[in-house]
Amino acid sequence: MRVAVAASIRPFADGPVREFVADLAEAIRRIGHEVEEISFPCVSRSTAPSTRQSLAIRLTEISHAGDLLITFGSPCHLLRHPHKVIWYHDPWGNSASTVTPAELKAFGHARRVVAASSADAASLVRRGRIATEVLYPSPLTVGDAHGRDSGEYVVVLDADSEALASAALDATRSRLRLERAWGTSTERRNALLADACAVLDLSDQGGLGLSTIAAFRSAKPVVTVTDAGIATELVHDGDNGRVVHRTVPEIARAIDELSSDRARATAMGVRGLQYVADLVPELEMLVAQLIG
């Protein structure tokens, strides 16, 4: 079967959606299907798409691209296709408005609608009384990155987190170093995760929680911030990581806490591994569920 995957991404920039769509396409190939990736430029991640942009996407009919269309994110769910699965994600939290007539048609014509987070599912209920199940996006798992030792560094897995993470590390007492694991090989990423003290997921409201899931699958605790998107649904403060405000002092204190009590940090990582194992299936399994 030919499967088309459509998503809205920032032009000329790496980001969580671009990373996830690439993983999603590879997972589809692994279970024996052809894939066509379709990207729609979304200029801003801080404001919702304009009415003109949404209308242009709604008028786009792409049945020629594949036998099945999987859309990820807003406003790509408005695309027209006779066999469409909507993986709904709205990073703008557009809960104040009601579902538009165009959206009602898009949802009504879809073969299946799932939400990328509990917040997305609740938004659809508030906006249009549309009930969906939640399927959290999952990074593609390659190789073994299960945790071993608690090393003298913390890891960032996405470019959006790096600047704030670097500033926070400079403000810590523990003086752990920062290791960048994005834009590198899977083997290098897994090696860094295996021996890290913790993972920092400091993405913004458009974050998909991919760094958090990867950390938990490596049995590592996560430090995240209160406005980090899906990560805030996965990290439970004091249980499998820390959730703090987006300020350098608070992030630095959270890092120092985990560094100074390695037994507690290890226990948090183990709880994270147990939590995500029950909540987020491997990406190949998610794809099989979506395709049916």
Query: Mind spelling out the 3-state secondary structure of the chain?
Result: CEEEEEEEECCCCCCHHHHHHHHHHHHHHHCCCEEEEEEEECCCCCCCCCHHHHHHHHCCECHHHCCEEEEECCCHHHCECCCEEEEECCCCCCCCCCCCHHHHHHHHHCCEEEECCHHHHHHHHHHHCCCCEECCCCCCCCCCCCCCCCCCEEEECCHHHHHHHHHHHHCCCCCCEEEECCCCCHHHHHHHHHCCCEEEECCCCCCCCHHHHHHHHCCCCEEEECCCCCHHHHCCECCCEEEECCCHHHHHHHHHHHHHCHHHHHHHHHHHHHHHHHHCCCHHHHHHHHHC
2-135 against 153-279: fold identical:
yes
The CATH superfamily of 153-279 is Glycogen Phosphorylase B; (3.40.50.2000)
Report the pLDDT value the prediction gives residue 103, as an integer from 0 to 100. Answer: 81
Residue 133: count of CB within 10 angstroms of its CB = 10
Long-range CB contact pairs, 258-262, < 8 A, 24+: 258/197, 258/198, 258/221, 258/223, 259/172, 259/174, 259/176, 259/197, 259/198, 260/174, 262/150, 262/197
CA dist 249 and 234 (Å) reads: 23
Contact between 192 and 202 under an 8 Å Cβ cutoff? The reply is no
Report the pLDDT value the prediction gives residue 60, as an integer from 0 to 100. Answer: 77
Place of tokens 């296709």: 81
Contact between 194 and 148 under an 8 Å Cβ cutoff? The reply is yes
Domain spans in the chain, listed from the N-terminal domain onward: 2-135, 153-279
Report the pLDDT value the prediction gives residue 168, as an integer from 0 to 100. Answer: 97
Report the pLDDT value the prediction gives residue 39, as an integer from 0 to 100. Answer: 85
pLDDT in tens for each of the 292 residues of the chain? 999 999 877 665 667 788 889 999 999 999 999 999 998 876 554 455 566 667 777 777 788 889 999 999 878 888 989 999 999 987 665 544 666 777 888 888 899 999 999 988 988 888 888 889 999 999 887 555 565 668 899 999 888 889 999 999 999 999 899 999 887 887 888 889 989 999 999 987 668 899 999 999 999 999 999 998 899 999 999 999 999 999 999 999 999 999 999 999 999 999 999 999 989 988 999 898 888 7
Paired tokens of 252: 């630095």
The CATH code of the domain at 2-135 is 3.40.50
